[in-house]
Structure 1
Amino acid sequence: MKIIRGRAAGGTSEQRTETFTGTVYADPLLRSTDGVTINTVFFAPCSRTYWHTHEHGQLLHVTAGAGRICSEGGPIEELRAGDVVWVPAGERHWHGGGQDSYLVHVAVSLGKTDWEHKVSEAEYTSTIQEQA
């Protein structure tokens, strides 16, 4: 058993730059253990990940703010506090803050993450899928 406190022992907020656009900070909750990495991630408005995939999938739990997520070939979906997203293994996607809102989510990444290229401004600003 492992109890995960609000931050990994000795953890510090890390600004993410190499595979993110804009201002993004991550707080480690669980550094990679048995192929599982858990981070609380803060995205400033319009900040986002690059396109990427996860070897065994990713679970996102939105805890504050509003943002966007998109899988390759699909519409951009709005994210709001309380939403939970499951991204299956190998599904190419990106996620980040809204145009007018920050986003905070807990990201549970399973296995290796394969990072690709930037999400273009045109890809990010496309129309959001209407919520049901």
Structure 2
Amino acid sequence: MVKNEQLKEKQLFTVGKPNDAYQDVFVGQSYLSMLVNEPDINVNVGNVTFEPGCRNNWHIHHDGFQILLVTGGEGWYQEEGKPAQHLVPGDVVVTKDGIKHWHGATKDSWFSHVAITAGTPEWLEAVSDTIYDAL
């Protein structure tokens, strides 16, 4: 059974289009709706929606940070060397400069968060099925 399936059509912010520009750094299907993407503002704000089982690769933000505001469904956030955190609406995650991490949906639920990002991401390897399936 898939939980929170309504997120694919209705949520606080628009779901957006398939996240094709970043499909090579995600396992599964995600959707992106940029909420703020102004060239004279040094922060991007986007609503990211993950289908069940979708997650992004490990990555690091350089010369910046990332703040995740969870708005729907259930997901995971994990920093390298630490246990994964189960995320639900209302959770806030702050990732500081230089921290290797990943985030995405649980296996059985859609998931959405607003990502507030400054700096440059360095995309790394995919989260292994072994790590993900153990959650």
TM-score strictly above 0.5: yes
Pairwise mapping of residues 24-103 of structure 1 onto structure 2 (< 5 A)?
Answer: 24-31=30-37, 33=39, 34-55=41-62, 56-103=64-111
Among all aligned residue pairs of Structure 1 and Structure 2, give the percentage whose two residues are the same amino acid: 35
Q: Give the letter for the 2:34 counterpart.
A: P
CA–CA distance in structure 2, aligned partners of residues 125 and 61 of structure 1: 24
Which residue is 1:3 aligned to?
Answer: none
DSSP-derived class of the 2:81 partner? coil
Total equivalences in the alignment: 118
- Structure 1: runs of 5 or more not aligned: 1-5, 128-132
> Quick check: 1:109 aligned with 2:117?
yes
- Structure 2: runs of 5 or more not aligned: 1-12
More helix by share: 2
Query: Aligned Cα RMSD in Å?
Result: 1.5
CA–CA distance in structure 2, aligned partners of residues 35 and 125 of structure 1: 36
Q: Give the letter for the 2:17 counterpart.
A: S
State the Cα distance separating 1:97 from its structure 2 match: 0.4
Q: Give the letter for the 2:48 counterpart.
A: V
CA–CA distance in structure 1, aligned partners of residues 88 and 31 of structure 2: 19
State the Cα distance separating 1:14 from its structure 2 match: 4.0
Once the two structures are superposed, residues 24-51 of structure 1 have per-residue CA deviations (whole angstroms, 9 ceiling, x without a partner) of 0110111254331111000011100000
Which residue is 1:130 aligned to?
Answer: none
